[in-house]
Amino acid sequence: MTQADVAAQEAHLRLLKAELLRPDGKEHAAYVVFGVSRIAADPFHGGSRLRLLIKDVLPVEPDEITSSDDQHITWKTDRFVRLLAEADRAGHQVGIAHSHPRGPARFSAQDDRNEADLARLARNRNGEAALMVSLLFCGGGEMVGRVWISPQDYIDLSVIRSTSSNWTFHRREGDLGSEDPAMDRQGLALGPAFNRTMKSLRIGVVGAGGTGSPLIQQLGRMGAGHLAIFDPDRVELSNLNRLYGATHADAVDGVKKVDVAKREIERMGLGTQVVTIDTWIGAPECRDVLKSMDLIFGCTDDHDGRVLLNRLAYYYLIPVIDLGLALRVAERHGERVLEGDGRVTVLEPGASCLICRRVVNPVIAAEEALRRNDPAEFERRKSEAYVRGEGNPAPAVVSFTTSVATMAIEELIQRLQQFRGPSGAIANRVRKFGQVEDFRPGAARQPCRVCGSPKTFGAGDVFPFLGRAG
């Protein structure tokens, strides 16, 4: 059985609430344009999934409404047909949203009939792949939805979630899960709703090394329900000063980093379901797994991987929390001094991307892609000084890598629970370890066509994947 959910920018959900739940107490309606993410096999249950990504909200205007009161609304559907034509050209889907200001928090028999007609109209106009999504906003704050896959069949949405600063999750009644006694103390601090959300989340961690290892440990201890861990590397002796759970025997045997992470999470016995992927995230077999996530932590140090995650955050409305740590030994006045910068950057619509913050160098990313896809050509260019070599090993200290991981976890907590207050989200935070001080640097340049163009936000499945050539 296919599962379905909706992801939206916080601004779009606010607009829908404002338009549909007006002070006049009447039912109101809006059209909603969606991008689509089709997932053939969910990594945790193996079934297919549909994720609808809100791209635009278009309120039904007063002159389109034929009648409305606190129990019903009817309107002309001429614009629906025009929107279907536009969506067909753009590869989008069209749905509707309406309100029940006085309840009930469920679709009525009249809603069933009207929506089946719209689903039939969509299929007749745009073909058998046409979907018709319906969202219902209720006066008590409830939010439910469904997606019609034919005029006869629909799938209830399991969750409607928002991104951008504050992350909210509206789950179908009965899908909230039970309390875990192991999380009681955490619940006392952050509330039982936080624990339920953590249990339901699908969290990806790209990189199980210096920052990824302590991050994974904390997520497991916080009751994360589903973790997907990506890393193609194996444990080496030089990793043992910062890789939680790794042993000397693991290094000698060349155990995969993802297997160490999975082993340590499962030893906790807290019920976290772990999926491991021991290949680079740009491989086609990683796409369904990445698209299935609700949140991704980027703990990789390669520029090409960061470029991919950078685009994924905007195209699929999946927030990416990117971590970085730079340690260097400098000489000042004849003395060796350790300098260190830790960084946590959140990527989502409304926030500048890694390119605009100059965290990622596209030239280095292209060189990494060449080394991965055509090693012989890379070596030829390196010998002629057209590309960079591998460079020297970077310094690494477990207390600093753990500190950066904790900064990222703090941002997760803020966006789910707002412990710093409703405006306490920090999109880009840099810790100067030598100065014992945090900074919030802005973007280095104007927004680019990835983070500055609404066309990419919620675009979903496009060809080529994420609009990337190669």
CATH of the domain at 144: 3.40.140.10
Residue 143 is which amino acid? M
**pLDDT per residue as tens digits for the range 138-179:** 999 999 999 999 999 999 999 999 998 899 999 876 655 668
Which of 150, 171, 192 marks a domain boundary?
171
Helical segments of 91-183, H only: 109-126
Q: Are 121 and 84 in contact (CB under 8 A)?
A: yes
d(CA 224, CA 241): 25
In a domain, 470, yes or no: no
165 & 267 share domain:
no
323 with 415, same domain: the answer is yes
**Geometric angle at alpha carbon 169, from 419 and 44, rounded to 5°:** 115
Query: Is residue 468 situated within a structural domain?
Result: no
Task: Report if residue 466 sits inside a domain.
Answer: no
- Nearest residue to 215 via CA among 267, 162, 264: 264
Phi, psi of 436 (to 5 degrees): 50, 50
| Stated pTM of the model | 0.94
- Specify if 469 maps to a domain: no
- pLDDT tens per residue across all 470 residues of the chain: 899 999 999 999 999 999 999 999 999 999 999 999 999 999 999 999 999 999 999 999 999 999 999 999 999 999 999 999 999 999 999 999 999 999 889 999 999 999 999 999 999 999 999 999 999 999 999 999 999 999 999 999 999 999 988 999 998 766 556 688 999 999 999 999 999 999 999 999 999 999 999 999 999 999 999 999 999 999 999 999 999 999 999 999 999 999 999 999 999 999 999 999 999 999 999 999 999 999 999 999 899 999 999 999 999 999 999 999 999 888 887 788 888 899 999 999 999 999 999 999 888 888 887 788 778 876 766 566 555 566 667 888 999 999 999 999 999 999 999 999 999 999 999 999 988 889 999 887 789 999 998 999 999 999 999 998 65
Q: Is residue 247 part of a domain?
A: yes
Residues 101 and 71 both lie in one domain? yes
Do 216 and 152 lie in a common domain? no
Over the stretch 278-317, which tens digit does the pLDDT of each residue have? Answer: 999 999 999 999 999 999 999 998 999 999 999 999 999 9
- Of 171, 196, 228, the position where a domain reaches its end is 171
Range of the domain at 380: 181-461
Instruction: Answer yes or no: do 23 and 92 share one domain.
Output: yes
pLDDT score recorded for residue 333: 78
In this structure, are 139 and 83 located in the same domain? yes
In this structure, is residue 421 part of a structural domain?
yes
**Number of domains composing the chain:** 2
Q: What is the pLDDT of residue 118?
A: 97
Compute the distance between CA of residue 94 and CA of residue 80 in angstroms, rounded to an integer. Answer: 8
Asked if 205 and 347 sit in the same domain, the reply is yes
pLDDT at 469: 67
187 and 331, same structural domain? yes
Residues 385 and 270 grouped into a single domain: yes
Q: Can you tell me the distance from the alpha carbon of 111 to that of 113, in angstroms, rounded to the nearest whole number? A: 6
Phi, psi of 344 (to 5 degrees): -130, 120
Residue 230: CATH number of its domain: 3.40.50.720
Between CA 130 and CA 149 the distance in angstroms is: 7
pLDDT for 336: 84
H-assigned helices in 222-319:
248-253, 257-268, 287-292, 303-315
Nearest of 296, 290, 157 to residue 215 by alpha carbon: 296
d(CA 159, CA 147) in angstroms, rounded, equals 12
What DSSP letter does each residue of 340-403 carry, written as one string?
EEEEEEEESTTS--TTTTT-S-HHHHHHHHHHHH-HHHHHHHHHTTSS----PPPP--HHHHHH
Retrieve residue 214's tokens: 């302590």
CA distances from 217 to 180, 194, 243 (A): 18, 18, 10
Does one domain contain both 369 and 238? yes
Q: Taking the C-alpha atoms of 341, 352, 457 and 46 in order, what is their torsion angle to the nearest 10 degrees?
A: 0
Q: In what order do the strands lie in the sheet with 226-230?
A: 273-277, 226-230, 202-206, 295-298, 320-332, 335-347, 428-432, 437-439
- Same domain? 209 vs 268: yes
Query: Do residue 236 and residue 127 come from a single domain?
Result: no
Residue 260: predicted pLDDT: 98
Instruction: Look at residues 144, 171, 198 and tell me which one is the last residue of a structural domain.
Output: 171
